Amino acid sequence: MLSADELKEQVQAMGADLVGVASADSSLLQEHGEKPERLLPEAQSVISIGVALNRTAVCSGNLILNRYDTMCVYERINHICMETIRLLSREGASAIGVPPYLPVNMASDAKGMKGEINHKTVAAVAGLGNIGLSRLLLTPDFGPFVRLGTIITNAPLSIDQPLEENPCDQCDLCRTACPAEAIQEDGTLDYRACTNNALRSGLPGAIGIARKFIGAEEKEIKGAIYSPDFWDIWQSAVSGIFYNCSECMASCPIGSD
């Protein structure tokens, strides 16, 4: 079986910028309600994979360029995760990949807002970074400009330790930059405010358009169907990328050197 260092070397050769390993029975994961064994009963290790976003695209102010970069990064994460699973399988281990964004559980208890595992929590436990005021994972090298993937395996890999220091210095730039005022002064996040703003081309936006159809006249329905908002929802559904806001990320100075 490959050692953790050997596995990380190969995963980075596939295009990952960050790789860390947490124990599946980590008390830190358990404290946050993460139970890898629910997804893989014989789980021993949880691998966190990070791929950096293009800061220039995210900070460009151009939503199309921002979304395209995000789409490409998620495609790379999907590829890396699948190839890593194949690699572990060849070594005789079982492994599963947790979707980095979609699909997610759309049942009434989750409502599409909770994945099978919290990638940020796993990444923090695996030593990739720490959670900042924005509630994003902040990494020393890339700040919040990173997307994450997670693999759960029964391979017994040596684990990494969480960072001793949090890269976030509470500069407050993310809070003041948030157009939805979702980041509270006490460090909590108003998820509803964030979601309604950032995902207005996703499910919240689709629900809003659908509501306009209820009891509407034909002219009003046509107006909604031919509106730029509806077309953007269609485009987002086709591409799978529906983020409308990255202001908290773009405002963060961490990893900018």
Do the beta carbons of residue 15 and residue 77 sit within 8 Å?
Answer: no
CA distances from 84 to 34, 120, 125, 232 (A): 22, 19, 20, 34
**Rg of the chain (C-alpha set):** 19
Round to whole Å and give the CA distance between 44 and 169.
34
Name the residue among 33, 39, 146, 26 with its Cα closest to residue 99: 39
Q: How much is the pLDDT for 106?
A: 85
Per-residue model confidence as pLDDT tens for the chain (257 residues) = 899 999 999 999 999 999 999 999 999 999 999 999 999 999 999 999 999 999 999 999 999 999 999 999 999 999 999 999 999 999 999 999 999 998 988 887 777 777 899 999 999 999 999 999 999 999 999 999 999 999 999 999 999 999 999 999 999 999 999 999 999 888 889 988 999 999 999 989 999 999 999 999 999 999 999 999 999 999 999 999 999 999 999 999 998 65
Instruction: Write out the two tokens for 200.
Output: 């207005």
